[in-house]
Chains A and B, each alone.
Chain A
Amino acid sequence: MFSKEKIVIAYTTENCKSCNMERKRKFKEGDYLFAETFKCNSCEGTMQIEKIFGEPIEK
């Protein structure tokens, strides 16, 4: 009957510029779109932030 309160969690997805491997993690302060972050675990290429978005979860 009553709608549950929704909490929005921010996520960041990174893509490897070389092998296109995608990684999703929780948003960290300082993240912004198209910033280069770490080296890719599989091919040593550079990971770049592709998306930052919120996903709601029900409390």
Chain B
Amino acid sequence: MVNFTNFDFDQLFGFSDDSNPLLMLIWILPIILFVFYGQRIQLLVTSGEIKKGIKKLDGYRTEARTELIDYVKKNMNPKEDPTKKIDRFLDYFTIMPVDMDPNGIVEKVRHIVRAREDYSRNHVKSLSPETDEIELSKVITLLEIATSLHMIYKIINHMYLTAKKQNNYPLILPLQMILPFIMEEAEAITKAIPVFKLGQPVGDGIGPMVVGKMMQNTKKELVAFQTVVSEKEYDGRKLVLLKPEGPGSTVGRPGDAVETIIAKNKPDIIIMVDAALKMEGEDSAITAQGFGVAIGGIGIERFQIEDIATKNNIPIFAIVIKQSIKEAITLMTKEIANQAENVRSQVHEMIHENTKTGQSVLLIGVGNTIGISQ
């Protein structure tokens, strides 16, 4: 039987006088190796993982491109092969304005973003001018998906190749840290492709879903580009309902719409309903109430609404429905869809608490309205 209380440590580690020089080498060699080549070994191990990620990203962007070309060929029936034109669209870039002097920068960003949107729409439409607006909005969204995946692949691949070229381990560290987040986002974007092709509602559409239902049996009018408004009475209050025009894939232009509405008739409060990113550990499809402009994007719509509301001294209330990035851009889950009725009753409660009879409320459903009419 082995006696565990009586080990000879000198003998075990080869420290006794009659130790074998070969054993000493076995100890010393790895130490020397790790001191001088540790970073390179780490670089090799890490780059193997990153390479796998980049291969996946390449697969996602190829899939998005192929799906887009097939969809255009099948649904737009273009006279010429659209492949060349689509490939050119994928490489389009946007140069953001100089921010050394931030005065007026939002206007400049809006101008550049709108110009890009208009250009893309006109050029996609030129592939087949007879295409209807709903189909066109789906193609534009699929083009945005393909462009995003193409850009993600190019940036990550560039960072990886630069670190490899310079044999620079610290350069690869930030890439290793952000890659899991990038992969999660890229996977979610790829999974959104079939949803947009079929015209199904996404999690982000919960705002338009809530307001769309309230717009039933009212007269709808186009108030801004791809944005509709209608009016109805609720318990002695005037409700002005605003949402992107569905069931195409669009978020509309709520900023312009709010400007037009307020110029005609100033509401007493604004309520915004939108999807919001949940924190890790938070349950999906829970709702929360707060204050301020609940709207995503790069900030131009938010700035515009905040500006008008401040000038006119209108309080803004918000109701958000929490979800993950994947849930926001893929098929709406049952849990999120089931929250619509609850959010409507919260809106009614909010109206009662914050307005009196005879006052008016502007209710805005924010988000992508794919698969959601009004």
* Chain A residues engaging chain B, CB cutoff 8 angstroms: 8, 10-11, 27, 29-35, 51-55
Contacts and interface: CB of A to CB of B under 8 A. Distances in A.
A10 to B, nearest CB: 6
Contact of B371 (A8, A11, A32, A55): A32
A51 B340 CA distance: 9
Interface stretch (B114-122, B307-315, B329-337): B329-337
B199 A51 contact: no
Contacts of A8: 330-331
A15 to B, nearest CB: 11
Choose among A8, A34, A55 the residue with the greatest number of B CB atoms under 10 Å from its CB. Answer: A34
Nearest to B331: A54
B47 interface: no
B78 interface: no
A53 B216 CA distance: 20
Given A29-B198, A32-B372, A33-B373, A54 B209 contact: no
Interface residues of B, number: 23
Interface of B: 198-201, 209, 212-213, 216, 246-247, 330-334, 336-338, 340, 371-374
25 contacts: A10-B198, A11-B334, A27-B200, A31-B371, A32-B201, A32-B372, A32-B373, A33-B201, A33-B209, A33-B212, A33-B373, A34-B373, A35-B247, A51-B337, A51-B338, A51-B340, A52-B200, A52-B331, A52-B371, A53-B336, A53-B337, A54-B200, A54-B332, A54-B333, A54-B334
**Chain A interface, DSSP helix/strand/loop, else mixed:** strand
Contact of A55 (B201, B246, B334, B372): B334
Contacts of A31: 371
B342 to A, nearest CB: 13
A52 B203 CA distance: 11
A10 B337 contact: no
Contacts of B247: 32-33, 35
Contacts of A30: 199
Contacts of A54: 200, 330-334
A53 B373 contact: no
Nearest to B205: A33
Contacts of B201: 32-33, 52-53
Nearest to A34: B373
Contacts of B213: 33-34
B334 A35 contact: no
A10 B331 contact: yes
A54 B330 CA distance: 9
A54 B333 CA distance: 5
Nearest to B370: A32
B373 to A, nearest CB: 5
